[in-house]
Structure 1
């Protein structure tokens, strides 16, 4: 039994908030200030970032900030050292020197591609478990910004272009992380959809667009996952830094959503002492550049800051620490079961892969494949494609490269096929030799892609080092060629019409070699769907040749301002609203089997306040086990709305010949406001009367089942 006479905040019979309030009341001012910030040595992050010219230099920058991610302990008061680790693609740069290694998971974009909330929960569960193994308290993730453009440097750690899909997956990841008594942190709040000039840029966005798209996943995480923390972004929102924006940090988060967690700054995104605390930021990370004793004391003395505001910030964070038992959990790191967690990552990787083309029926390959050649550049064909440069990159416990991984799988299948590797140099100086090797093989596996990085957007949505030319020339060498894409984000595929077999696996992480081989040889059936639209041409993208939208223009204020003038037309909504045919639409994905939807029906009456229930029978009409995703979209009869919005989906796995009825409930009262449009005058979501249309199918473009729904 803990003696609480001198430390009443340790009384477990009190609520977390009561305990936090009593703790803060017992603190001296210096002790309070020490708990307002992290304790990394301050560095000139802005100067270093300005020096970085490319992804490699950003990686070097990140290597300088791998240590001391914590808030100090206070032994007098029994406050533990608060250990913080980055996410959201695994346990990234955690507190320690060096940062502790963990399982390198597939990228978050792959989680969205699975269209499987249960998989998202498993993903978060593994991350939460490894946080416990490593003695961490906070996981900085999930990332809930949208893929507004395919060139976004952090698309790999965000889910998708769609706010509902992003929200569903983010909620499950957060719930699973917090089930381990680890604080999850939604980031980067808000409209941090690009890395270009992220320390300076400002985003101008209409209120209805902000609410219906960019805030929606955060609203879902706060309300449905009861997420404990939110990370404030680097950028300005309508001219005000996100860490000083009282409208987003207080009016929306606290007053409107009723959320009671704490707000942490992104690393070095805090820009003031009084301004940030007054706006609603509660913890500066990773150092005390602003919330140090001098600044906070001066602000208190000149009354630009009140002590009650300092107390409020501390109570918010301590409440969450008490909620998850951090004051009584001993620091006792244990070994991560690498093999077990790698097996889980391997299984999840199968369901994330998207089969884009299989025109010749080449996949799955047979065990009698003969001489197999893996060909491509080092990061994709030679090494496991961990992906995701920057602070979220995981120091892997182990990796499985493509060659040994393929050999392992063929051995397990009892195949006598042989596998060779040819590494194409980045300057393509040995491409002629690669083509000769490809012509001499029985099966060619061309591995190519892109690894995006925090801190820098891609200059164009293209694979670097002229890989498109490499792929195009290799495609002409052997009819039995499979293109395996390992991308952080969809890119241009100018050679696509010459390829009959294309598999997108994303950046798979530690188990890359095994996952890809098991997919190619049919040990697993790919069941992923496109989470962000592949454009056929660069000219089809919303930001092309429009600097107002991206990268922004200086409107006389000294910083670049990006105006989201496309409004609600983001992702598939942009393509549909502008009658642009995409290369591969949102929600699209093939399988090694085939499916049929039948008996599709809609019941319920929104006019009577009921939820709509969509039912459909899915039948596996092929000869292999596989999974299909039934997708439900809604057409809103309000001017300015795009043709369709995703409002529900259900994934079902079926044996050959089997059928199953799936049910998707679309509730007007749900936190994602499926029928709602933001009314700026009423300052709330409203359901407008009119003739709505429910679309049911297997992608945003393939919705043959349509039902009118009258809302009065």
Structure 2
């Protein structure tokens, strides 16, 4: 195939020029065939209903989606079959028969707890590498919606309640994925922060709230990571479907931010032909429900759609394909190095666990602990807790069960301790047996948790199957008892005062058994920090007593309207603004050692008109090596702003007795607009005059070091 015959194959040309040449050579029918995925249209609800139970129905649906995540090739033009795989917690449902297995990684909420962009890059590197190895072109992730509520079904695949932490981690993951010439796709754009009625719900949100919170991580993906694609959400925004909302898809994303990639619909989120394409959506997945020949040709004929708009959509996608060399790369799927990638997953998993409580130094457990019993319900003690319910579920290459992992680690430590397991029935019918085993053991490890899923929010923040009662009754039976939580979301802990030690390890994925044992026995010192606040009770949440905030109310249009009337007060901002003390606040995390943060200075040579430098010294005052996260918050002197916003952080590993310097730069010109607020008059971010408080510490609620920056 010569460059003369097919000039778009000339690799010396810029990607966009190649894309334009290709589109000029296409017939109308070829263009329309490339506007959408190739899956045959199915009724997903009927499919699920055909099954004898919902789990089987979802599996049948997943099987059909797995083998159809692609756009058909056009061989005569050299356009390859465009292969798309889900994410963002690993290589999920992709284009294959069946969808190939991959490394099951910890959930993204856990990754955020690492507070470490290098760790996020390693995570994205695994995902990007495996996507490329499996011959896929696109990874649908990272997800950067915020944890507005603690019960949202997809919080597990989003990062946190804070836009800056979310953005920093999302940028690192994106860069790593795209380093493998795989297109990363930021999702779900935008305010898809709940699963309840996601196909129908309308979100009403003030512009400054949208800009300062919910759009901010997407802005960082575009400007700081050069992300190749964005996925548009299911929900309505201000009465308009997200796939048809020109304000976000064009005015903000392209005109203001300079995004040069393409916008794909979430699966079946496209609701029209001409309105969607005109607004800035470029590609419909997984089928041609709307962007088919009948609809597109009719829209062209009645001039509600112009051919230039169709061309624009294709040029945007092909530009990214040419940018990452995907036209030249043959389909030649290889084999994933499961053990090597699993070792990385084990390292990541151990660094993201959060030691929530550790009275009297119960943890780490002694390596000669004697008789250890693991107790919990099947999901958490019998198999590795993979998590990721819904379309981003990964088929694991292998898994490590809790019992096997603990025995492996004890053997590696040369320990003579023994480990047994009691699986508690979901109805707690054998709880007495578990209590007897706990009484007879030297050490009790209770494993409990929550596995959330796409498509449904939780009813409340309690763990299912009366696990709170199970824990309550087991605590106190044996003084050496540790609670290990394996969660997708923060959970309520009515038993917390009785628990000597609580370790949050999240849904760990394949290496669950090894990671938990590494942490319990001190092979690794936990260093994670809470990425989303744990409320003490449901009554403390922003939506308690406010159905208009969640799950929304019907205001007369026939669909739920969710009003973000709390404004900027979500997460720790909500708790601090309302004077409510959370159970475990944002940034909280203990260690098996102790740290001092001293010698804090704030250098602001020109107020907030130039980069501000925060320096500190971190000293490990305890007996073992560990890591601390220095966190910098800003108090913005503008009415309506919450008490604090995170503007910088740095994780530092320190040996016993060692001190290490930390330097954090807060650049007012950075993409996250650290000093700025949205100005309605100028329709842009602006730094207002006033005294800005700088807070330095190791959590949002523990910032003993303060300074003031005056902006005139």
Instruction: Please show how residues 127-526 of structure 1 align to structure 2 within 5 Å.
Output: 127-526=127-526
Provide the rounded CA distance (Å) in 2 between the counterparts of 1:60 and 1:235. Answer: 25
Report deviation, 1:97.
1.5
Please list the CA deviations of residues 526-569 of structure 1 after superposition, one character each: whole Å capped at 9, or x if unmatched.
00000000111110000112110000000100100000000000
Distance 1:408 1:392, change over 3 A: same
Distance 1:606 1:392, change over 3 A: farther
Contact 2:402 2:513 in 1 (8 A): yes
Report deviation, 1:64.
4.5
Provide the rounded CA distance (Å) in 2 between the counterparts of 1:54 and 1:588. Answer: 38
Provide the rounded CA distance (Å) in 2 between the counterparts of 1:566 and 1:582. Answer: 17
- Are residue 110 (structure 1) and residue 114 (structure 2) matched? no
Report deviation, 1:304.
0.8
Report deviation, 1:682.
1.1
What residue number does 1:685 align with?
685
Provide the rounded CA distance (Å) in 2 between the counterparts of 1:135 and 1:369. Answer: 47
Contact 1:58 1:455 in 2 (8 A): no
SS in 1 for 2:109: helix
Report deviation, 1:55.
7.5
Please list the CA deviations of residues 337-391 of structure 1 after superposition, one character each: whole Å capped at 9, or x if unmatched.
0000000000000110000011121111111111110110011111100011000
Provide the rounded CA distance (Å) in 1 between the counterparts of 2:84 and 2:379. Answer: 29
Provide the rounded CA distance (Å) in 2 between the counterparts of 1:50 and 1:196. Answer: 19
Provide the rounded CA distance (Å) in 1 between the counterparts of 2:163 and 2:56. Answer: 31
What residue number does 2:621 align with?
621
Report deviation, 1:40.
1.0
Distance 1:162 1:453, change over 3 A: same
Please list the CA deviations of residues 664-685 of structure 1 after superposition, one character each: whole Å capped at 9, or x if unmatched.
1001000000000001221000
Please list the CA deviations of residues 462-496 of structure 1 after superposition, one character each: whole Å capped at 9, or x if unmatched.
10001000011111211100000000010100000
- Are residue 13 (structure 1) and residue 16 (structure 2) matched? no
Provide the rounded CA distance (Å) in 2 between the counterparts of 1:672 and 1:227. Answer: 16
Distance 1:389 1:428, change over 3 A: same
Report deviation, 1:155.
0.3
Please list the CA deviations of residues 582-603 of structure 1 after superposition, one character each: whole Å capped at 9, or x if unmatched.
1101000000000001100000
Distance 1:59 1:476, change over 3 A: farther
Contact 1:45 1:268 in 2 (8 A): no
Provide the rounded CA distance (Å) in 1 between the counterparts of 2:536 and 2:608. Answer: 43
SS in 2 for 1:65: helix
Please list the CA deviations of residues 223-268 of structure 1 after superposition, one character each: whole Å capped at 9, or x if unmatched.
0000000000000001100001111100000111111100000001
Provide the rounded CA distance (Å) in 2 between the counterparts of 1:410 and 1:418. Answer: 9
What residue number does 1:26 align with?
25
Contact 1:606 1:668 in 2 (8 A): no
Which is worse superposed, 318-327 or 37-46?
37-46
Contact 2:79 2:327 in 1 (8 A): yes
Which is worse superposed, 47-56 or 432-441?
47-56
SS in 1 for 2:492: coil
Provide the rounded CA distance (Å) in 1 between the counterparts of 2:61 and 2:213. Answer: 32
What residue number does 1:93 align with?
93
Please list the CA deviations of residues 495-542 of structure 1 after superposition, one character each: whole Å capped at 9, or x if unmatched.
001101000000000000000000000110100000000111110000
Report deviation, 1:48.
5.5
Provide the rounded CA distance (Å) in 1 between the counterparts of 2:547 and 2:11. Answer: 56
Provide the rounded CA distance (Å) in 2 between the counterparts of 1:615 and 1:15. Answer: 43
| RMSD of aligned Cα (Å) | 1.3
TM-score by length of 2: 0.98
Distance 1:212 1:540, change over 3 A: same
Please list the CA deviations of residues 78-105 of structure 1 after superposition, one character each: whole Å capped at 9, or x if unmatched.
0001100000000000101211100000
Provide the rounded CA distance (Å) in 1 between the counterparts of 2:559 and 2:55. Answer: 23
Report deviation, 1:610.
1.3
Provide the rounded CA distance (Å) in 1 between the counterparts of 2:659 and 2:311. Answer: 58
SS in 1 for 2:361: coil
Provide the rounded CA distance (Å) in 2 between the counterparts of 1:281 and 1:451. Answer: 32
SS in 1 for 2:76: coil
Provide the rounded CA distance (Å) in 2 between the counterparts of 1:16 and 1:376. Answer: 54
Distance 1:151 1:520, change over 3 A: same
Contact 1:250 1:280 in 2 (8 A): yes
What residue number does 2:528 align with?
528
Provide the rounded CA distance (Å) in 2 between the counterparts of 1:65 and 1:590. Answer: 42
Please list the CA deviations of residues 284-309 of structure 1 after superposition, one character each: whole Å capped at 9, or x if unmatched.
00011111111111111111110000
Work out the number of aligned pairs and report it. 711
Provide the rounded CA distance (Å) in 2 between the counterparts of 1:347 and 1:434. Answer: 32
What residue number does 1:37 align with?
36
Contact 1:549 1:565 in 2 (8 A): yes
What residue number does 1:645 align with?
645
Contact 2:410 2:417 in 1 (8 A): yes
SS in 1 for 2:709: strand
Contact 1:357 1:590 in 2 (8 A): yes
Instruction: Please show how residues 72-83 of structure 1 align to structure 2 within 5 Å.
Output: 72-83=72-83
Provide the rounded CA distance (Å) in 1 between the counterparts of 2:58 and 2:543. Answer: 24
Report deviation, 1:47.
5.2
Which is worse superposed, 38-47 or 518-527?
38-47
Distance 1:203 1:461, change over 3 A: same
Contact 1:637 1:692 in 2 (8 A): yes
What residue number does 1:4 align with?
3
Contact 2:608 2:675 in 1 (8 A): no
Please list the CA deviations of residues 148-185 of structure 1 after superposition, one character each: whole Å capped at 9, or x if unmatched.
00000000000000000000000000000000000000
Contact 1:576 1:643 in 2 (8 A): yes
What residue number does 2:568 align with?
568
SS in 2 for 1:186: strand
Contact 2:63 2:98 in 1 (8 A): no
Which is worse superposed, 504-513 or 540-549?
540-549
SS in 1 for 2:448: strand
Contact 1:203 1:235 in 2 (8 A): yes
SS in 1 for 2:615: strand
Provide the rounded CA distance (Å) in 2 between the counterparts of 1:97 and 1:56. Answer: 18
Report deviation, 1:604.
1.9
Provide the rounded CA distance (Å) in 2 between the counterparts of 1:581 and 1:467. Answer: 24
Contact 1:119 1:348 in 2 (8 A): yes
SS in 2 for 1:420: strand
5+ long unaligned stretches in structure 2: none
Report deviation, 1:44.
1.4
SS in 2 for 1:482: strand
Contact 2:373 2:441 in 1 (8 A): yes
Please list the CA deviations of residues 29-61 of structure 1 after superposition, one character each: whole Å capped at 9, or x if unmatched.
000001000011211135567999978865664
Report deviation, 1:220.
0.3
